[in-house]
Structure 1
Amino acid sequence: MLLLALDTATPAVTVALHDGTEVLAASTVVDARRHGELLMPSVDRTLAEAGVSLGDVTAVVAGVGPGPYTGLRVGLATAEAFGLALGVPVHGVCTLDGIAYAYGTSHGHRGGPFAVATDARRKEVYWARYDDARTRASEPAVDRPADLAEPLAGLPVAGAGALLHPDAFPGAAPPEHVTAGALAALAAERLAAGAALAPPRPLYLRRPDAQVPRNYKVVTPR
């Protein structure tokens, strides 16, 4: 097994190679405006560090969000292109699940339920609640931090969304962004257990900012 994992649902452009047991190489660059520019060089760098070629990859794992439309589609389109070119399966993993896995398996985590919140912009967060590192207890959603202060009271909350709004999330904790290494490790566990992974379909949760103008004037030739 050689999994190529990537995620562009957060400001982190992150890539990793996983052999089913451990991460062989990884690259993470945080830049919210250059996903398309940074992703392929990150893939090349990760392959070179691991000493393998793209043709050695047996499956692709892509973070499906939730995340902003523009950034998220960069990673998913690239993953689909790799899958078609290599003739290998492409699996989707919720980006929030990757952060939960990293937080829940960290040495400093004390166990018990927690939540994950990433920055959704517009003064909102994408979030979900977890029973443990591998078990999501609610569907991903998008809400204002103030509306979550009471439902998530007393819970640690990992992710950039929590760190950006400490008043609403006093239990804010790292990691700030997802890493492809965590996505790959979680996917490898699920595949080894025979579990079905999600298809690589984006979790947008809301409409894109760009919209087709309504009631535009139609110009016809005279």
Structure 2
Amino acid sequence: MTGLRLALETSGPVGSVAVADASGVRARRFLTERNRHAQVLPSAIDAVLAEVGAAWGDLTAVAVGVGPGSFTGVRVAAATANGIAHALDCPVWPVSSLAAAVLASEALPGSTAPWPVDHGGAAPGRRRVLFDARGDRLFTAVYDVGAGALIEVEAPRFARLSDVLTRPAADVFCGDAAVRHRDVLEGTGSRVLDPPAGVPTADGVLAVWARSPGEPVAAGAWSPSYLRETGAVRARDET
């Protein structure tokens, strides 16, 4: 089997793995056990490969959600993607987890997801994605979703809710932080989309790759997108 692509996304509470070929996504698994992505990710990859009758050596590329999101979750996907790419001498396509989330839309019939997911049919328009970073802090980006295209209007960044409200850039919001701050956002006349809209998954990573592929990179030649300093880095710099 040739032309098989693997996608990984573990930036959020629920991680996911998918394999796809030229015909589309062939198999997927969701990692629903919180804080155990590192332990269950290898077996999930084994499972999707077995489902399509493939082996690890059949993979020709890896696409990975690079964050932002859970610091540990982002590291898990990054380390796994780099390890596979190095072992198989195949390229890596880093994809923003915010971009992957913006393509989530309607239910996928027969999905085994903990919620229904379809990343191919996002309604056209401009959307701001908000990921929760605790309190009024969040990760955000703005995208134009069009027929077969995804255009980054505002690059992923770390922000506070007040900053987003003064620079709206879009009147449609999605993501877990948008749901958490629904009352405030809807009070400004904006629309908040419910999950699965705004949920990053491996399907979404593949959808971004298809719409806006960018350039592949070699294993280890890229960095996860944390968008903020870790507590360890802040403590180091303050000493």
Unaligned runs of 5+ in 1: 217-222
TM-score, normalized by length of structure 2?
A: 0.78
CA drift of 1:102 comes to 2.7
The match for 1:47 is 49
The match for 1:72 is 74
The match for 1:220 is none
* Aligned equivalents of 1:98, 1:108: Cα separation in 2: 11
Quickly say closer, same or farther: Cα 1:102–1:213, change in 2 above 3 A: closer
* Aligned equivalents of 1:64, 1:107: Cα separation in 2: 22
More off after superposition, 89-98 vs 166-175: 166-175
8 Å Cα contact 1:148/1:168 also seen in 2: no
Select the structure of larger CA radius of gyration: 1
CA drift of 1:197 comes to 4.6
CA drift of 1:51 comes to 2.0
Is 1:63 matched with 2:82?
A: no
More off after superposition, 143-152 vs 33-42: 143-152
TM-score, normalized by length of structure 1?
A: 0.84
* Aligned equivalents of 1:113, 1:26: Cα separation in 2: 28
CA drift of 1:202 comes to 0.8
Unaligned runs of 5+ in 2: 107-118
User: What is the number of residues matched between the two proteins?
Assistant: 212
More off after superposition, 137-146 vs 53-62: 137-146
Quickly say closer, same or farther: Cα 1:190–1:131, change in 2 above 3 A: closer
The match for 2:165 is 149
More off after superposition, 59-68 vs 154-163: 154-163
The match for 2:98 is 96
The match for 2:205 is 183
What does 1:72-151 correspond to in 2, within 5 Å?
A: 72-103=74-105, 107=121, 109=123, 111-132=124-145, 134-151=150-167
RMSD in angstroms over aligned alpha carbons?
2.6
8 Å Cα contact 2:14/2:31 also seen in 1: yes
Letter in 1 for 2:192: A
Q: 1:172 aligns with which of 184, 192, 212?
A: 192
CA drift of 1:166 comes to 0.9
Q: Identical aligned pairs, as a percentage?
A: 33
